[in-house]
Amino acid sequence: MGTRLYLVRLGEISLKGLNRPFFEKKLKNNIKTKLRPYHNMVSKQKGRLFFEIDESCSREQCDLAFSTTFGVVGYTEAVRVQKDMDKIKEKVREVLANSTFSNEGSFKVETKRADKKFPLSSYEISCELADVVNESFPDLKVSLKNPTHTLYIEIRNSTYIYTTMKSGPNGLPVSTAGKGMLLLSGGIDSPVAGYRMASRGMKLECIYFHAYPYTSDMALEKVKMLASKIAPFLQGTRLHVVGFTEQQLWIKSHSEIDETTLMFRACMMKVATKLAHKYDGTALVTGEALSQVASQTLDSMAFTNTTTDMLIIRPLVGMNKEEIMRTAENIDTYKTSILPYEDCCVIFSPKHPLTRPDVEIENAHYEKMGIDELLDKAVEETVTYDFFANGKEKLYSEEEETTANLEINPLVQE
């Protein structure tokens, strides 16, 4: 059985010092998870990981594995050949024949000579191989600044040849920076917030508050779709669905109408905190952006902070809606987020919510509601869904899922 070779460029990880192996190992394992169940061998060299993957693993699955794993800066399918100029030239001819190279436009040969013992310099290698390119494509001109086509040569333990470099999502491998609980709402922002924190290596579990029949089951399905969409970036995730109907009705009848949104927030934070303790999370992650809605004013956020002892991370706090939407489109959550299933019923949304709450007054009002017991109940009755790193939901009704039937969800490719 043959294999395909993939070369993976690492970015920030290469700058790490003594703990670099820790990051590299995580990255390697994160990619391997997504290549299951296919056999693959990994070797590493400075700034690069090399994957030799069983060729029965589809290119789509390989692409998904590399394009959704944080820590990958770029990746490409490459061919390997001995460090011998004649053999290299022969291989280059082969590669060019199967590449996007044509007689249109310009080209460049980019050589990286990591093995300094190789007799020719980078420049000399590039020159000799440019001649090979010209044999096949005589009309192609050289352009070092803005080439249409690029032939990449890397001289290391062997020679690696490739003509494209797809970009990865950058960042740091997931599970290198602790675990957070992401408050996933069904809107545009929260999946992006999760994506951002995952890009810094945070492991995430998601929490959704569901108030059936005030919010529809379609809204829950939408959130599950979102969890599934971000699951590859999150290296798989869990979605904790908190039934919140009784609690919302309680809040509605036990608080001032203009304060209800703040009280919901407080309750959600308290439930999220309890779930974080239960599942070993050390931070809460929200999609809040300053002043986007009434509950996201500075004063409201300050109040929210007093409702939990846990660190609240708001990765989007300083971002504009357009920037957030752009990321949502890139990670393919936007289309799902704008589906018209509301995550909060209008009867729970005050017309004029308080935007400049007083922390002490609101906390007193919260205490007066006497809702703690109901919140404990909500935590107890939470239903959890699991999503694999390929985005697929784990179905508990079935027998233990074998890795063989893990299908890959089509995800956006950068």
Partner 1 sequence: MEYYLDNAATTKISESALKAYIDTATTYFANPSTNYKAGQNAKLKLEETRDEIAKILDVSSNYIYFTSGGSESNSIILSSLLWNNSPGEVIISKIEHASNSEFARILKEKGWKVSTIDAPQGFINPNKLKSMMNDRVRMVCLQYVNNVIGSIQNIEELVKIVRLKEKEYNRKIHFHTDAVQALAKIPFSLKELDVDSASFSAHKFHGPRGVGILYTRLVNQQPLSKAGGQERGVRGGTENLPAIVAMSVALKEQLGTTTIKPSCYDRIYDLNLYLRNNLHTHLLSPRGNYSPYILAFSVAPFPSEVFTRMLNDKGFYVSSGSACSNNVKAKGESILKAMNYSSELSKGSIRISLCDKTTKEEIVAVVNEINNLYDSVVR
- Candidates 47-55, 92-100, 234-242, 344-352: pick the segment binding partner 1 (CB under 8 A): 344-352
Which residues lie closer than 8 Å to 367 by C-beta, 6 or more apart?
A: none
Candidates 1, 97, 346, 404: give the one binding partner 1 (CB under 8 A).
346
Which pairing describes strands 3-10 and 72-81: parallel, antiparallel, or unpaired?
Answer: antiparallel
Provide the minimum distance between the beta carbon of 293 and partner 1 in the complex, in angstroms, as a whole number.
12
Provide the minimum distance between the beta carbon of 277 and partner 1 in the complex, in angstroms, as a whole number.
33
Q: Which is nearer to partner 1, 123 or 212 (CB)?
A: 212
What the block records as the tokens of 264 is 């919901």
Beta-strand (E) ranges in 359-398?
383-387
Candidates 17, 138, 318, 340: give the one binding partner 1 (CB under 8 A).
340
What the block records as the tokens of 168 is 């990865």
Q: Which is nearer to partner 1, 345 or 374 (CB)?
A: 345
- Candidates 19-27, 40-48, 213-221, 390-398: pick the segment binding partner 1 (CB under 8 A): 213-221
Q: Cα separations (Å) of 209 from 14, 241, 315, 365?
A: 40, 6, 21, 22
What the block records as the tokens of 9 is 């460029």
What is the footprint of partner 1 within residues 153-212 (CB under 8 A)? 212
Beta-strand (E) ranges in 273-327?
283-285, 311-313
Q: Which is nearer to partner 1, 130 or 345 (CB)?
A: 345
Site for partner 1 contains 341 (CB under 8 A): yes
Q: Which is nearer to partner 1, 137 or 341 (CB)?
A: 341
How far apart, in whole angstroms, are the C-alpha atoms of residue 292 and residue 40? 46
Q: Which is nearer to partner 1, 46 or 351 (CB)?
A: 351
- Candidates 128-136, 151-159, 266-274, 343-351: pick the segment binding partner 1 (CB under 8 A): 343-351
Site for partner 1 contains 342 (CB under 8 A): yes
* Tokens 């436009």 sit on residue: 105
How far apart, in whole angstroms, are the C-alpha atoms of residue 377 and residue 238? 20
Torsion of CA 176, 58, 112, 85, to 10 degrees: 150
Kind and range of the H or E element at 90?
Answer: helix 85-97
Q: Which is nearer to partner 1, 110 or 342 (CB)?
A: 342
- Candidates 71-79, 148-156, 284-292, 336-344: pick the segment binding partner 1 (CB under 8 A): 336-344
Burial class of residue 363 (count of CB atoms within 10 Å of its CB; 0-12, 13-18, 19+): middle
Provide the minimum distance between the beta carbon of 305 and partner 1 in the complex, in angstroms, as a whole number.
28
Site for partner 1 contains 293 (CB under 8 A): no
What the block records as the tokens of 183 is 């408050």
Q: Which is nearer to partner 1, 144 or 338 (CB)?
A: 338
Residues lying near partner 1 in the complex (CB under 8 A): 212-214, 216, 338, 340-342, 345-347
